[in-house]
């Protein structure tokens, strides 16, 4: 009798946890209103990243799909990491003004951008990626990200054998630490305005809880799942912000 009671209690607890996840997470849109209102009508996929506060290095990511006008979560949240200095207001598709006192994204500030952003292409060290739907750029030693605000190629990923060099600094995309083994470009500062930030990616994290130079990072397994899920036909967007912003 005692054993049966223990099993019943355990089953009830498991059911309660499942219901909390289903109703509290899976059905909850979660998106801050100031950002959700800037999503284009044709957007049907969102990577929603929310940090507990603007200085946090850790955050969680939800994969959202829009089905008949309702946003639904399609999997449990993914742990991810942000820039060493947390979040700053980026330049993307969002039109709202930043919250009072919120930092503005600048080159070299080690902040991940907050806002709404396109995800135009994926990249990786593999020569091809037939399992991905996004346009794919295979990385070679000549592929670089230009982070020099004085360059005409600022905030672009280019092949340095095919364009004239006019930059003093750049980031090698083929890295010894393999953080860019897989990744995707985030269209922060799409007009490439000097100084507003460059070369923001989704990529493999250096480890749980370890910050980035301003990108959004996660485990290799989770990143590959996210990249495989993203579908340009569904106009995916990254929506990145703070948990406490008004829903």
Separation between Cα atoms, residue 178 and residue 22, nearest integer Å: 36
Q: What is the pTM of this model?
A: 0.88
Q: Which residues contact residue 129 at a Cβ distance below 8 angstroms, ignoring those fewer than 6 apart?
A: 122, 136, 138
Q: Using an 8 Å Cβ cutoff, are 72 and 97 in contact?
A: no
Per-residue pLDDT of the chain (247 residues; tens, 9 = 90+): 444 444 444 444 443 433 333 334 444 548 999 999 999 999 999 999 999 999 999 999 999 999 988 999 999 999 999 999 999 999 999 999 999 999 999 999 999 999 999 999 999 999 999 999 999 999 999 999 999 999 999 999 999 999 999 999 999 999 999 999 999 999 999 999 999 999 999 999 999 999 999 999 999 999 999 999 999 999 999 999 999 999 8
CB atoms within 10 A of CB 233: 9
- Helix, coil or strand: residue 35: helix
Residue 219 has phi, psi (to 5 degrees) of -65, 155
Q: Using an 8 Å Cβ cutoff, are 80 and 112 in contact?
A: no
Quote the pLDDT of residue 213. Answer: 98
Q: Which two tokens stand for residue 27?
A: 């059905």
């Amino acid at each position: 009798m005692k054993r049966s009671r223990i099993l019943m209690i355990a089953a009830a607890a498991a059911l309660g946890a499942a219901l909390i996840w289903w109703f509290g997470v899976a059905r909850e849109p979660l998106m801050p209103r100031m950002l959700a209102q800037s999503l284009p009508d044709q957007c049907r996929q969102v990577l929603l990243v929310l940090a507990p506060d603007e200085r946090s290095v850790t955050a969680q990511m939800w994969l959202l799909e829009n089905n008949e006008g309702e946003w639904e979560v399609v999997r449990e949240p993914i742990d991810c990491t942000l820039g060493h200095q947390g979040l700053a207001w980026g330049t993307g598709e969002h039109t709202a003004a930043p919250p009072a006192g919120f930092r503005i994204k600048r080159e070299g500030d080690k902040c991940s951008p907050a806002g709404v952003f396109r995800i135009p292409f994926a990249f990786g060290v593999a020569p091809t990626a037939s399992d991905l739907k996004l346009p794919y750029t295979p990385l070679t030693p000549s592929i670089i990200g230009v982070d020099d605000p004085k360059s005409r190629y600022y905030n672009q990923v280019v092949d340095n054998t095919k364009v004239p060099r006019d930059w003093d600094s750049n980031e090698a995309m083929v890295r010894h630490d393999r953080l860019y083994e897989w990744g995707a470009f985030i269209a922060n500062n799409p007009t490439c305005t000097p100084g507003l930030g460059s070369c923001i990616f989704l990529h493999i994290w250096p480890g749980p809880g370890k910050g980035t130079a301003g990108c959004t990072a996660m485990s290799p397994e989770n990143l590959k799942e996210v990249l495989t899920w993203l579908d340009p036909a569904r106009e995916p967007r990254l929506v990145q912000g703070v948990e406490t912003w008004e829903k």
